[in-house]
Amino acid sequence: MFIIENYSLAILFCIVTMLCWGSWGNTQKLAGKTWRYELFYWDYTIGILIFAVIMAFTLGSIGDSGRSFIEDIQQIEGGNILNAFIGGVIFNASNILLSASVSIAGMAVAFPLGVGLALVLGVFINYFSTPKGDPALLFIGVALIVIAIICNGIASGKNNRSGVANPNVKKGILLAAVAGVLMSFFYRFVASAMDLNNFESPTNGLAIPYTAFFIFATGIFISNFLFNTFVMKKPFVGEKVTYKQYFSGKFGTHLVGIFGGCIWALGTLFSYIAAGKAGAPISYALGQGAPMIAALWGVFIWKEFTKGNKSVNRLLTIMFLFFLAGLSLIVLSGGN
């Protein structure tokens, strides 16, 4: 299988993770012009599973290092299969709630709150499970990113302030908060199924990243029949949607959702691969800088802050500075 040989390349993979995790939401926004998020989400999960299968039989099956995918999946212990699968179920539950929050309250509310909570809680969970890196630098870096996320949320609130109250905003905030708490746990389950200390000669019974990710993606897809069917019939806002509507969708619309799933899957697989050299807490923390990437899309591509005043622009500047400073400390925390 393909593995990372040095810390610098691991950090590069983590940065790709952050870009992917902060960018897949654009596909929901594109599809949302004509497509309910519940319908988009089916294609999103299909995209994740397709990508996992392709990577398992390509990068997961080449080279002389470690075990190949087929060899690995035949020897992994049942408990580790269950852990990776549960990770997928937990992620799917959290991400459906996050998608609902995006649909109800917008990315400016959902991503900073939901993913911000996942960042803070997840770093603690992953660090105390598998300590790696300088804890002082790591947690100071996380604190700076939290400040950046707060600045982003304040700027979004100032920019979108209007005289008409949206009765669904509180529901969107609650969904984002619950999503963030759930999301903080999924990574640890998948990481526990892998031998993070030795990808070259992994311990018998544990999984290589490609196998763990395939099982994880399977957990997402299978659990979607329960979770997404429920929210289709009992949506948080609006009328219920049906499978007939899904199968009546245009081919191009389906492709947008599948592409969104592939984007997220690329980032997640890279995070698991990088965890061998960077460590789970650092790999997770860098990836969860995604709200700032989403903010970059909003500011420079979607022009969501064009009506902002000087205080909004000042908050955005502070946000990006704290974000970069936090990322730098997280990188340095694992460099020794």
| Contact status, residue 127 vs residue 191, Cβ threshold 8 Å | no
Judged against a pLDDT cut of 50, whether residue 48 lies above it is answered with yes
Domain ranges of the chain: 7-333
DSSP state of 203: P
Percent of the chain topping pLDDT 90? 51
Question: What number is the average pLDDT over the span 23-34?
Answer: 88
Model pTM greater than 0.85? yes
Question: What number is the average pLDDT over the span 64-87?
Answer: 95
Which DSSP string corresponds to 16-69?
HHHHHHTTTHHHHHHHTTTS-HHHHHHHHHHHHHHHHHHHHHTGGG-SSSS--H
Judged against a pLDDT cut of 70, whether residue 165 lies above it is answered with no
Write the CB contacts of 275 (distance below 8 Å, at least 6 apart in sequence): 10, 191, 194, 196, 209, 283, 284
Sign of the torsion angle spanned by Cα atoms 175, 109, 291, 34: positive
pLDDT in tens, 234-262: 999 889 999 999 999 999 999 999 999 99
Q: Kindly report which listed range (3-12, 54-63, 291-300) carries the lowest average pLDDT score.
A: 291-300
| Contact status, residue 11 vs residue 274, Cβ threshold 8 Å | yes
Looking at residue 167, what is its pLDDT? 63
Question: What number is the average pLDDT over the span 110-115?
Answer: 78
pLDDT tier for residue 304 given thresholds of 50, 70 and 90: low
Neighbours of 54 (CB within 10 A): 13
Looking at residue 222, what is its pLDDT? 98
Closest alpha carbon to 2 in 60, 68, 67: 60
Question: What number is the average pLDDT over the span 197-205?
Answer: 91
User: How far apart, in whole angstroms, are the C-alpha atoms of residue 141 and residue 152?
Assistant: 17
Record the tokens describing residue 233, joined without a space. Answer: 């019939």
Judged against a pLDDT cut of 70, whether residue 161 lies above it is answered with no
Looking at residue 181, what is its pLDDT? 93
Looking at residue 163, what is its pLDDT? 45
Question: Residue 234 — φ and ψ, nearest 5°?
Answer: -125, 70
Looking at residue 154, what is its pLDDT? 80
Percent of the chain topping pLDDT 70? 93
Judged against a pLDDT cut of 80, whether residue 113 lies above it is answered with no
Closest alpha carbon to 84 in 219, 181, 261, 208: 219
Judged against a pLDDT cut of 90, whether residue 332 lies above it is answered with no
pLDDT tier for residue 88 given thresholds of 50, 70 and 90: very high
Identify the residue with better confidence: 257 or 110: 257
| Contact status, residue 272 vs residue 212, Cβ threshold 8 Å | yes
CA distances from 66 to 54, 60, 69, 333 (A): 18, 9, 10, 27
Mean pLDDT of the chain: 88
pLDDT in tens, 176-188: 889 999 999 999 9
